[in-house]
Amino acid sequence: MGNRLFITKIQRFSIHDGPGIRMTVFLKGCNLACRWCHNPETQHASQEIQYLESRCRFCGTCVGLCPTEAITIKDNWRLEREKCTQCQKCVSHCYAGALQTVGEYVDTDTILEKALEDVQLFGKGGITFSGGEPLLQAGELKAALKKAKEKGMHTAVDTAGNVDWECFREILSYTDLFLYDVKTVDRKAHRDYTGVDNQIILRNLKKLSALEKGRVWIRMPIIHGLNDRDEDIGRFLDYYQELRKIERIDLLPYHAYGTYKAKSLCMKEEKFEAPSKERMESLLTQIREINENTHIL
């Protein structure tokens, strides 16, 4: 067994995670806790149990098997996360498949074999490492990126940037493109809605944009009332003037797909409001004034 990455899933035929048709690998573990998170299953850096309600037959087998009595079935199936030891007995004995394990270690060579098949099939494209926060597995990620480049693949890393600059330094030579998430430039709002300060994030983006070799696409989730107001966009435009080289900006309207996944993981569900189509078009017009290569995904 060679180098391994801790992942949640591999998504093939992706068209929004870099140029061409790509394979996206979602790494598990993140040091942000975005309240609107689209992929809550990637937040915790450990295996988790996911409950698929539509499959459950309420047979109670999992309740009887749980050694810590973390599972109860009354009006609804419920898991007390703080009691769960991740022994996975409930998952292995769930005949209906309502309980799933989220998170597994996968050998890098296995991942790259699949990616290479896709590249050979579609020509243009490559492999993108997303998450979660891929740079929390910087050493393993570096090895995977290096192997991908040796096989002639285009490489991309989707990051929120909340890591020490040394993590970026480790992978710079093997990364063709950074997809860099900017949630909000406002410091207080970032702390309130993601749980962390954004100063390291903004500083690292400035460093990346100043590199001769680096290619950077900014990705902005747009949540109504949180970062789509005129003052929010004004702060972003002011900050953008400090950046050197940004190839593209993608605007991602909020969607609530993550809430059902949060529920299935017994995490807090929180819904936000998507901006209107008219507001997205207005934002697109404003931001294209600083970068013509701006798109709504």
Query: Where along the chain do its domains lie?
Result: 4-44+104-296, 52-102
Per-10-residue mean pLDDT, the chain, length 297? 87 95 97 96 96 95 96 92 94 96 96 92 90 97 97 97 97 97 97 98 98 93 96 97 97 94 92 96 97 97
DSSP state, residue 132: S
Instruction: Tell me which CATH code domain 52-102 carries.
Output: 3.30.70.20
Which CATH number does 4-44+104-296 carry? 3.20.20.70
Q: What is the pTM of this model?
A: 0.95
Q: Do domains 4-44+104-296 and 52-102 have the same CATH topology?
A: no
233-240 long-range contacts, CB within 8 A, separation 24+: 233/283, 233/286, 233/287, 235/184, 235/185, 235/186, 236/182, 236/184, 236/185, 236/287, 237/286, 237/287, 237/289, 237/290, 238/185, 239/185, 239/202, 240/290, 240/291
Ordered strands of the 4-14 beta sheet: 104-107, 4-14, 21-27, 125-130, 154-159, 177-181, 216-222, 248-253, 294-296
Whole-number pLDDT of residue 2: 58
